[in-house]
Chains A and B, each alone.
Chain A
Amino acid sequence: AQRVTQPEKLLSVFKGAPVELKCNYSYSGSPELFWYVQYSRQRLQLLLRHISRESIKGFTADLNKGETSFHLKKPFAQEEDSAMYYCALLSKGYSTLTFGKGTMLLVSP
């Protein structure tokens, strides 16, 4: 069975500091991984997906199959990045999307 682990419930940084939100997964097969974000009073929405290899709002995430990780990084955090971040894994069989417990990112001025 697939599993997504986000070890930090809360990550608090100052504006301009680098950010790394950790995500580890367990899955027997080739994973498809995503980061979803939920800003205050807004819907859960897709931030980025690993196959796109894109940078969204300055965030990047690299899939490391050896370490089974998909950490989300940003070199310089902004106050508007404050939100809940969820790592998610898409299984190939049923295409079930499994979420981690989430990490709250707080960026202080």
Chain B
Amino acid sequence: EAGVAQSPRYKIIEKRQSVAFWCNPISGHATLYWYQQILGQGPKLLIQFQNNGVVDDSQLPKDRFSAERLKGVDSTLKIQPAKLEDSAVYLCASSVGRMNTEAFFGQGTRLTVV
């Protein structure tokens, strides 16, 4: 089966600019996650969708980050405006359901803010 697709793979922007990342989960997967992974750290959950509804966005910096999952399939994550500390790999993952199911990860988008 096709895996989780993310684009772009790499992005370099200046601070205060805006950026958007796109994720296409595995077909049929109801749960979609966005994680931020700063160099040397484990993935940190930003937001979790169940179909097109948000179930957890407690760690999303809502003053600058936003995400949507229209129609419960693809998702976009936006940062506006970006800060230097947003430099990280942004990982998208999806799973069939919520309980005890394997999460499948995309290759990530590496963001560098200069």
Contact = CB atoms under 8 A, between A and B. Distances in A.
Nearest to B91: A44
Contacts of A101: 40-42
A51 B99 CA distance: 12
B99 to A, nearest CB: 6
B102 interface: yes
Nearest to A101: B42
A93 to B, nearest CB: 9
5 contacts: A45-B104, A94-B56, A97-B103, A99-B42, A99-B44
Contact of B105 (A4, A43, A98): A43
Interface in B37-72: 40-45, 48, 55-56
B56 A96 contact: yes
B66 to A, nearest CB: 19
Nearest to A96: B56
Interface residues of A, number: 22
Nearest to B42: A99
B99 A102 contact: no
Contacts of B103: 46, 97
Contacts of A90: 99-100
Question: For the side of the interface on B, what is the size category?
Answer: 20 to 34
Contacts of B91: 44
Nearest to B35: A99
B42 A95 contact: no
Interface in B93-107: 93, 98-100, 102-107
A94 B48 CA distance: 9
Interface in B73-114: 91, 93, 98-100, 102-108
B100 A49 contact: yes
Contact of B100 (A51, A94, A96): A51
Given A95-B98, A96-B56, A97-B93, 14 more contacts: A4-B42, A6-B42, A32-B100, A43-B105, A43-B106, A43-B108, A44-B91, A49-B100, A95-B48, A97-B33, A98-B45, A101-B40, A101-B41, A102-B41
